[in-house]
């Protein structure tokens, strides 16, 4: 065939010239949308910093921002995986109440140590997830229906289990949500050294993995991003982590324990979604379920395990929520599923599945959290807070859609 074939395809130089900017940004380790959402978070933080006369970023406010919103971030991690696979989970709020009841009762009525109670709670979450995953994956009932049923079932079970508030929980358990890492290294000025060390280690670990990834791209002769961009990125990350570290080190307790929990979860799940075959298969299923199945992806197994996973994460959220409330109540976790879903969509997940990232969901949760806190400091009526959050969700998704339409990719 005598078509004007380009005889030297896929050479990096030619590639760079032909690939549109949006895709080249994609090579920066995310997509342009990701940077947009980080930018939006920074803008919202600065906006409220001004509107609240600098109260938003007071050390103790930042610490409680994480303590108040840890449950959203934990649930959003599981939810974004479910959404990427093309499902939804409406039951997490009820599961939080149900598992919270189990954990509290194991401690108070069965007199089990708090660590054992936590393990029981995680196992219960996994069982709940396996139950829902079974119906979705192996029977083929849409997740919307299964988890809508789950929302009713587990709220009902929570009401049965926690007839009246279960209080009087051990102080160790209470300190999970409210406590901070012990100040074993003393202070520099007023700054908690443990927090500073954690911040430094976190940055070094991140920088190390980035440099390693870059070296591996080089080794395989692949087109890595320009050095300038790479260094700019590292500097921006260093500034972000540095600012957060310094602010937190001046807070009453230093590093909140829940921040450590969330941080570990983010690292583990970003790795799972970004670097493992399982993660790739979740994206593939969300993109084209039939194609994934024809290609040899065991779609049922993947579906099952993402529901087991969100069950376990809902249990973690239940532990944090119960610990924060100091007691288990049947009404716990109301609307948590909506918070988590909103965080995912603000964070760039696609309603149709196949697109979404852990980091995006976390940033989405933080945007909602900052909005909550900023508006509360400004003493805005809670009714209006709700309305404003709704509009932000709508605008975020509309912005995303218009962007895609302009790019012509969807």
Partner 1 sequence: MSDEARVPLLAMRGITMRFGAVEALVDVDLEVHAHEVVALVGDNGAGKSTLAKMISGVLQPDAGIIEIDGEPVTVPTPQAAAALGVATVFQDLALCENLDVTSNLFLGRELRSRWVRDDGQMEEVARRILRSLSSRIPSVRSPLSTLSKGQRQSVAIARTLIGSPRIVVLDEPTAALSVVQTAEVLTHIEQLRNLGLAVVLISHNMTDVRAVADRIEVLRHGRNNGSLDVATSSYEEVIAAITGAPTEPRPAQHAPLRSSTTAWPA
- Reduced to 3 states (helix: H, G, I; strand: E, B; else coil), residue 123 is helix
328: which strand partners?
166
Of 116-145, which residues contact partner 1 (CB under 8 A)? none
d(CA 218, CA 374) in angstroms, rounded, equals: 44
| 246 closest CA partner among 51, 45, 49, 63 | 63
- Distance, first Cα to last Cα, the chain: 32
Interacting stretch for partner 1, rule CB under 8 A, among 167-175, 193-201, 215-223, 392-400? 215-223
Query: Of residues 221, 227, 228, 379, which one binds partner 1 by CB under 8 A?
Result: 221
Identify how many contiguous H helices and E strands the chain contains and give both numbers.
Answer: 17, 2
> Is 367 within 8 Å of 40 (Cβ atoms)?
yes
Interaction pattern, residues 168-207, with partner 1; x per rule: CB under 8 A: ----------------------------------------
Comparing CB distances to partner 1, the nearer of 9 and 186 is 9
Residues in 257-276 at the binding interface with partner 1, rule: CB under 8 A:
275-276
The long-range contacts involving 13-16, CB below 8 angstroms and separated by at least 24 positions, are 15/223, 16/223
- Total interface residues for partner 1 by CB under 8 A: 43
CB contact at 8 A, 195 and 249: yes
By the rule CB under 8 A, 354 interacts with partner 1: yes
Candidate ranges 12-20, 32-40, 151-159, 250-258; the one touching partner 1 (CB under 8 A): 12-20
What percent helix, strand, coil does the chain show, rounded to 5? 75, 0, 25
- Cα separation, 170 vs 173, in Å, equals 5
Is residue 6 a contact residue for partner 1 (CB under 8 A)? yes
Burial 22-55 (b: 16+ CB within 10 A, else e): eebbebbebbbbbebbbebbeebbeebbeebeee
Cα separation, 205 vs 181, whole angstroms? 20
Q: Which of residues 311-350 bind partner 1 (CB under 8 A)?
A: 350
Decide if 338 contacts 151 (C-beta within 8 A): no
Report if residue 19 touches partner 1, rule: CB under 8 A: yes
Is 222 among the residues that bind partner 1 (CB under 8 A)? yes
Shortest distance (Å) from residue 357 CB to partner 1: 12
The answer to whether residue 405 forms part of the interface with partner 1 (CB under 8 A) is no
From 217, 377, 378, 388, residue interacting with partner 1 (rule: CB under 8 A): 217
Closest distance between partner 1 and the C-beta of residue 25, in Å?
12
Q: Does 21 bind partner 1 (CB under 8 A)?
A: no
Bridge partner residues of 191 (DSSP): 188
Alpha-carbon distance 202 to 238, whole Å? 10
> In terms of CB distance, is 139 or 294 closer to partner 1?
294
Give the one residue of 209, 216, 334, 386 binding partner 1; rule: CB under 8 A. Answer: 216
Residue-level length of the chain: 410
Q: Is residue 277 close enough to count as binding partner 1 by CB under 8 A?
A: yes
Give the binding range for partner 1 (CB under 8 A) out of 34-42, 109-117, 293-301, 386-394.
Answer: 293-301
Report, in Å, the least distance between residue 173 CB and partner 1: 33
Task: Say whether residue 86 binds partner 1 (CB under 8 A).
Answer: no
Please report how many Cα atoms fall inside a 13 Å half-sphere around the Cα of residue 118, on the Cβ side.
15
Q: Are 181 and 260 in contact (CB under 8 A)?
A: yes
C-beta of 216 vs 386, nearer to partner 1: 216
Minimum distance, C-beta of residue 74 to partner 1, in the bound complex (Å): 23
Shortest distance in whole angstroms from residue 164 CB to partner 1? 47
Which residues in this chain contact partner 1 in the complex, by CB under 8 A? 1-3, 5-7, 9-10, 15, 18-20, 23, 26-27, 216-217, 219-223, 275-277, 280, 283-284, 286-288, 290-292, 294-297, 350, 354-355, 409-410
């Amino acid at each position: 065939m005598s078509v004007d074939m380009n005889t030297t395809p896929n050479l990096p130089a030619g590639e760079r010239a032909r690939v549109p900017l949006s895709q080249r940004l994609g090579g920066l380790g995310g997509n342009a949308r990701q940077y947009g959402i980080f930018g939006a978070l920074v803008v919202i933080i600065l906006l409220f910093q001004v509107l609240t006369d600098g109260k938003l970023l007071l050390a103790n406010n930042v610490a409680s921002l994480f303590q108040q919103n840890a449950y959203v971030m934990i649930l959003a991690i599981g939810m974004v995986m479910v959404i990427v696979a093309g499902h939804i989970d409406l039951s997490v709020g009820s599961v939080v109440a149900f598992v919270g009841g189990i954990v509290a009762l194991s401690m108070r009525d069965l007199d089990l140590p708090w660590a054992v109670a936590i393990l029981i709670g995680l196992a219960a979450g996994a069982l709940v997830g396996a139950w829902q995953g079974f119906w979705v994956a192996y029977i083929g009932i849409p997740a919307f229906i299964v988890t809508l049923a789950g929302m009713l079932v587990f709220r009902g079970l929570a009401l049965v289990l926690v007839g009246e508030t279960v209080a009087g929980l051990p102080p160790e358990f209470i300190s999970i949500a409210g406590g901070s890492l012990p100040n074993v290294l003393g202070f520099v000025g007023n700054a908690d050294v443990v927090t500073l060390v954690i911040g430094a280690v976190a940055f070094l670990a991140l920088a190390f993995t980035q440099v390693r990834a870059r070296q591996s791209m080089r080794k395989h002769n692949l087109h890595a991003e320009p050095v300038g961009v790479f260094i700019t990125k590292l500097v921006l990350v260093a500034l972000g982590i540095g600012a957060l570290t310094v602010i937190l080190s001046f807070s009453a307790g230093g590093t909140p324990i829940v921040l450590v929990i969330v941080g570990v979860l983010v690292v583990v799940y970003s790795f799972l979604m970004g670097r493992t075959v399982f993660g790739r298969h979740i994206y593939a299923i969300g993109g084209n379920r039939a194609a994934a199945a024809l290609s040899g992806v065991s779609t049922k197994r993947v579906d099952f395990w993402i529901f087991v996973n969100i069950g376990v994460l809902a249990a973690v959220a239940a532990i944090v929520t119960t610990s924060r409330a100091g007691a288990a109540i049947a009404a716990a976790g109301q609307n948590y599923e909506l918070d988590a879903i909103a965080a995912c969509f603000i964070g760039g997940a696609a309603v149709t599945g196949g697109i979404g990232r852990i980091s995006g969901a976390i940033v989405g949760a933080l945007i909602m959290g900052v909005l909550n806190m900023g508006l509360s400091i400004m003493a805005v009526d809670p009714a209006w807070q709700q309305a404003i959050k709704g509009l932000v969700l709508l605008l975020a998704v509309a912005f995303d859609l218009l962007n895609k339409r302009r790019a012509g990719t969807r």
